[in-house]
Amino acid sequence: MDSYGHVNNTLYIQYLEEARVAWFERLGIAMNNVPQGPVVLQTLHTYLKPVVHPATVVIELHAGAVGNSSLVVEHRLSTLEDPRTLYGEGHCKLVWIDHGTDKSVPVPDDLRLAMGAGKRS
């Protein structure tokens, strides 16, 4: 919380990361101790309205563009207490890499299928 009683803006990025990891896990994509996985290339979040503490943040994720080795996860942020209000929105562009070589590799087919299906969370 910041001095105005708002959730501090730096926490939003943490919330988004936690939501992405949970989403990948629900899609069956392991995120820990694996030879390949995503790294963040770009994060964009537009703050539309401050979240006032206390509140339960709700993040809706959905698939954006999927390239050869990159993918976009789009997000919308609301609260459980006020689900009709959009507090923020944006996207995160990820690049799939081989952790041993730090080189980009193709997005796994199973994730590509899940992303192509436009699965939401």
Distances 65 to 2, 8, 68, 75, 116 between C-alpha atoms, Å: 34, 29, 10, 13, 9
Q: What is the pLDDT of residue 121?
A: 52
Q: What is the pLDDT of residue 7?
A: 85
| 1 assigned to some structural domain | no
Reference 24, options 56, 61, 77; nearest CA is 61
Residue 81: domain span: 9-116
Q: What is the pLDDT of residue 51?
A: 94
CATH number reported for the structural domain that contains residue 56 in this entry:
3.10.129.10
Q: What is the pLDDT of residue 87?
A: 97
Give the total number of structural domains in the chain: 1
Q: What is the pLDDT of residue 1?
A: 65
| 107 assigned to some structural domain | yes
Q: What does the pLDDT profile of the chain (121 residues) look like in tens digits?
A: 666 778 888 899 999 999 999 998 888 887 777 899 999 999 999 999 999 988 999 999 999 999 999 999 999 999 999 999 999 999 999 999 999 999 999 998 888 888 775 455 5
